[in-house]
Amino acid sequence: MEITELIKKMIRYYDGRLQDIHHTMAVYSFAITIARGEKADRKTMEIIEASSILHDIACPMCRKKYGDVDGKHQEAESPELVREFLKDTEYTDDFIERMVFLTGHHHTVTGIDSLDWQILIEADYLVNAYEMNLGIDNIKSAYEKVFRTATGKAMLKDIYKF
């Protein structure tokens, strides 16, 4: 599936929830920028593109089921939603399972062992920091403890001027 088609499918899935659509597109933009800055290979780039589009697939369900979009709720609910969402696509089983893993861990900042996971974490944080109006102490802490890519670190510093 072309990334454009995946984006359009996700927009339809969000059913007019503009905040979800804008958040997803912002994470996608930051993820691509970080991946290019880190010179990700083609396979990693494809994983980053798709996972950044799919990362919040559980948000609509979590709002209904839990009344919130808590990260742990999203991680718990994402796997089956991703499998269902991608079942009739030409994506390989391995690729789908990577999407399952990444969406199921996109709020877990410990144990990160791959570039695709690191970039997804960083891109989502860049957007969440703004949307959640996180304070500079939180942002500096994330810079020190979570961010690992040179591109992501530079972007965080440039955006928040520290």
Report residue 31's pLDDT band, with 50, 70 and 90 as the boundaries: very high
**Smallest Cα–Cα separation from 102: which of 51, 153, 31?**
51
pLDDT (tens digit, 9 = 90+) per residue, 40-97? 999 999 999 999 999 999 999 999 999 999 999 999 999 999 999 999 999 999 999 9
Per-residue model confidence (pLDDT) at position 59: 98
Task: Output the pTM of the full model.
Answer: 0.96
Per-residue model confidence (pLDDT) at position 21: 98
Per-residue model confidence (pLDDT) at position 161: 97
Q: 9-18 burial, b if ≥16 CB within 10 A, otherwise e?
A: ebbebbeeee
Per-residue model confidence (pLDDT) at position 74: 97
Per-residue model confidence (pLDDT) at position 91: 97
pLDDT (tens digit, 9 = 90+) per residue, 115-140? 999 999 999 999 999 999 999 999 99
Q: 132-159 burial, b if ≥16 CB within 10 A, otherwise e?
A: eeeeeeebeebbeebbebebbbebbeee
**Smallest Cα–Cα separation from 46: which of 104, 17, 89?**
89
Mean pLDDT of 14-35: 98
